[in-house]
Amino acid sequence: MRFIDEAIIRVSGGHGGPGCVSFRRETFAPRGGPDGGDGGDGGSVSFQATHQLGTLQDFRFKRVYDAPAGMHGSGSNKAGRDGEDIVIPVPVGTVIRDAASGELLVDFVKDGQTWVACKGGRGGKGNAHFVSSTHQAPKFAQPGEVGEARELKLELKLLADVGIIGFPNAGKSTLISRISHARPKIADYPFTTLTPNLGVVQMPDLKTFVVADIPGLVEGAHRGLGLGHKFLKHIERTGLFLHVLDGTKLLEDATRPDADLDETIEHLIERYQIIRRELGLFNEKLLHKPEILVINKVDLLESDPQLVEKARLALRNRIASIRGDHPHGQEPFVISAVSGKGIQELLFAVHAEIQEHRSGARRDVRVRLPDDEDIRS
Ligand SMILES: Nc1nc2c(ncn2[C@@H]2O[C@H](COP(=O)(O)OP(=O)(O)OP(=O)(O)O)[C@@H](O)[C@H]2O)c(=O)[nH]1
Ligand SMILES: [Mg+2]
């Protein structure tokens, strides 16, 4: 998957506070000297790169960043307070250009890197500054300078290694929030996720990979039902699918009055196949992709561990025939995205699969920072 996130925003430094015109007035100094203080400097606007963010989504909701102005100076030589500086977090990998000219201004390549986009205006000097031998009582002060302002274009290019797929409500977003810094909305109803989320997973050896959580798929997705289909193109080029099945469906089926164990397990397999059919109808090639299957929400199935194990074995035994001539698959994992059970093992398996994939033909599947060529084009 290759996300090109873009945002155009306007930033401006705060206006410098005006200097003050004031004269000392005390009982014994009726015509005291000028004591107007300086205005405060306007706040600046800067950017700071962070691994905590994966996209430029935030800039869709807030496009204007004005730093506060400096305060007025006042009498008794009191300087006005400086306007506060604004620091805008952006994902590592973000490139910032001048929106009008396209000129490259900064390329954020590492966590914590900062860049000042706009300085605030300097505060005006108060009249106390302008005393001279010929001018003992200046009745003027500086107004304070205007802060810098500019329009910026932010761009971010990311490639995801893993696409998380499954029915709505299966726990895909919960999983990505468990394994990465991504913080997507999670809720107990379908179609919570409306746009893809990216998360960077850090392994103990400090190697990383990028995971994409897309909106849930439903039967008929290829005909435009639900949301997920639209986003399949984003995960078309990932090296691996993590297919999440909601384990509580097993329990729902197993606790029906006329429940039959084989049928219950058959239902789960049917759900797995529905998603695969949708993948195939979108693009046959997606069926060839390596895939790891997980049964999620196992914390809710503790009352019936045998059921889970039976389902896992049945899935394992049937995967080969379901996948037909696309047999590349792993043993199903049993996890709880909420309690964390099984997650470590899963991540190691995912990582191993990705490394294999990266060392194979498609070396392009990794987080890629924009290079010079991209910047010119
Ligand atoms: N008990 C339990 N609940 C879970 C687990 N994983 C997810 N949930 C719950 O399942 C519900 C759906 O979780 P989400 O992560 O929003 O599901 P999703 O697959 O992203 O759903 P969509 O975005 O609608 O496709 C939430 O109420 C989660 O708290 C789990 O391992 N155990
Ligand atoms: Mg979701």
Q: Find out whether the beta carbon of 214 lies less than 6 Å from any atom of ligand 1.
A: no
Residue 93: inside a domain, yes or no?
Answer: yes
Q: How many domains is the chain built from?
A: 2
Same domain, 191 and 332: yes
**Separation in Å, CA 17 to CA 12, 38, 304, 342:** 15, 8, 69, 58
Burial class (CB in 10 A: 0-12, 13-18, 19+), 133: exposed
Our mutation pick for probing the ligand 1 site, out of 175, 186, 189, 193, counting the most ligand atoms within 8 A of Cβ, is 186
Residue 167: inside a domain, yes or no?
Answer: yes
Residue nearest to atom 27 of ligand 1 (CA): 188
Distance between Cα 184 and ligand 2 center (Å):
7
Same domain, 69 and 202: no
Residue 80 CA to residue 74 CA, distance in Å, equals 7
pLDDT single digits (tens) 27-69: 776 677 899 999 999 999 999 998 766 667 778 778 999 999 9
Atom of ligand 1 nearest to the CA of 193: 23
Can you give the residue range of the structural domain that contains 12?
2-157
Q: Find out whether the beta carbon of 197 lies less than 6 Å from any atom of ligand 1.
A: no
pLDDT single digits (tens) 220-269: 887 777 776 767 877 887 889 999 999 998 888 888 888 788 888 889 99
Same domain, 63 and 131: yes
Residue corresponding to tokens 């102005």: 69
Half-sphere exposure of 288 (CA within 13 A, CB side): 5
pLDDT single digits (tens) 78-135: 999 999 999 999 988 899 999 999 999 999 988 899 999 999 999 999 988 898 888 8
Same domain, 105 and 168: no
Residue 118: inside a domain, yes or no?
Answer: yes
pTM (predicted TM-score): 0.62
Residue 105: inside a domain, yes or no?
Answer: yes
Residue 96 CA to residue 27 CA, distance in Å, equals 58
Phi, psi of 225 (to 5 degrees): -75, 145
| Chosen domain end from 138, 157, 176 | 157
Distance between Cα 164 and ligand 2 center (Å):
10
Residue corresponding to tokens 């396209």: 102
Q: Find out whether the beta carbon of 226 lies less than 6 Å from any atom of ligand 1.
A: no
Same domain, 166 and 34: no
The domain spanning residue 301 has which CATH number? 3.40.50.300
The domain spanning residue 52 has which CATH number? 2.70.210.12
Q: State the average pLDDT for the chain.
A: 85
Angle at 10 between CA 7 and CA 16, to 5 degrees: 155
Residue 117: inside a domain, yes or no?
Answer: yes
